[in-house]
Amino acid sequence: MKTVWTIARRELASYFTSPLAYVFLVIFLLLSGFFTFTAGAFFERGEASLAAFFAWHPWLYLVLVPAVGMRLWSEERRAGTLELLLTLPVTTAQAILGKFFASWVFLALALALTFPVVVTVNVLGDPDNGAIAAGYIGSLLLAGAYLAITCMTSAMTRSQVVAFILAVVLCLFLILAGFSPVTDLLARWASPSFVDAVASFSVITHFDGFQKGVIDSRDLAFFVSVIGFALFATGVIIRGHRAG
């Protein structure tokens, strides 16, 4: 556990030694503000909730999370430091978790900086703060799922750009499987049970409950399994490279 923390500490610190981290935070906050207040018609809705805020997160994260996670492994491979890291007395699992947690903490920080939105709704009205908390938990899990997928694509290649594109494509699939225009289209040809089966792989379907303030154990299980599976796959890929 200590080793995981030591790895995470270095990774997290390296976000802040480059201006990129600050640029990212600013872009994230600006975009989430834009989507919420302008595109989400926050004020016109006349209701004190953060539905407009959370609804955009699957799309907002689609680009931002891969940007945060893309270098995790590809940069280590490109610079040759992977050899340094994995010949230390650490297990592959410790290294994977350390890096994942560092980026997840960074994303959590970005999310935490959106607190003025919470303050705003509380000033304007009387929102259900329990539902807002559930929304934040769901949003963090959503970011974690995208991030784990990005870890996996990052382990596949030396190129951060390739890792980014692969991650965006995979995450897009996870959105589209449950995105209503797509499910409506599918429903014209396929049986409803098939459409439901496809949609059950979507982050949209599972994020929905959190937005409404409901924490369902199946939704929790979904995000935890996506994270677990993607991180496991990361381990397989990293070991695979070395097996030759």
Partner 1 sequence: MIRIENLVKTFGAKRAVDGISFTVERGEVLGFLGPNGAGKSTTMRMITGFYPPTSGRITVGGYDIVEAPLAAKRLIGYLPENAPSYPDMTVRGFLDWMAAMRGLEGEARKKAVARVVERCFLEPVLEQSIETLSKGYRHRTCLAQALIHDPEVLVLDEPTDGLDPNQKHEARNLIRELGKTKAVVFSTHILEEVDAACTRAIIIDRGRIVANGTPAELRAMSALAGAVTLRAEGATEEKLAALGRVERVDGALRVYPADKTASAELTRAILELAAREGWKVESLRVEEGQLDEVFRRITLPDTVRK
Least Å distance, CB 90 to partner 1, is 7
CB nearer partner 1, residue 46 or residue 80:
80
Tokens of 213: 């303030």
- List all residues 6 or more positions away from 79 whose beta carbon is below 8 Å from its beta carbon: none
Q: In whole angstroms, how close is the CB of 163 to partner 1 at the nearest point?
A: 18
Q: Which of residues 166-195 bind partner 1 (CB under 8 A)?
A: none
Q: How far is residue 3's CA from residue 86's CA, in Å, rounded to a whole number?
A: 12
Subset of residues 225 to 244 that bind partner 1, contact rule: CB under 8 A: 242-244
Q: Which of residues 90-129 bind partner 1 (CB under 8 A)?
A: 90-91
19 binds partner 1 (CB under 8 A): no
Q: Which residues 200-219 are close enough to bind partner 1 by CB under 8 A? A: none
**Separation of CA 200 from chain center:** 18
241 CA to centre of own chain? 26
According to CB under 8 A, which residues from 41 to 80 bind partner 1?
79-80
Binding residues for partner 1, how many (CB under 8 A)? 23
Of 8 and 156, nearer to partner 1 (C-beta) is 8
Q: Is 10 in the site for partner 1 (CB under 8 A)?
A: yes
Q: Can you tell me which of 22, 38, 43, 81 binds partner 1, judged by CB under 8 A?
A: 81
7 forms part of the interface with partner 1 (CB under 8 A)? yes
The answer to whether the CB of 70 falls within 8 A of the CB of 160 is yes
Q: Does 17 bind partner 1 (CB under 8 A)?
A: yes
Q: Does 3 bind partner 1 (CB under 8 A)?
A: yes
Considering Cα of 153, then 159, then 162, then 167, what sign does the dihedral take?
A: positive
Q: How far, in Å, CA of 123 to CA of 88, rounded?
A: 52
User: Closest distance between partner 1 and the C-beta of residue 178, in Å?
Assistant: 39
Residues 6 or more apart in contact with residue 217 via CB below 8 angstroms: none
Burial of 209 (0-12, 13-18, 19+ CB in 10 A): middle
Binding site for partner 1 (CB under 8 A): 3, 6-7, 9-10, 13-14, 17-18, 79-81, 83-84, 86-91, 242-244
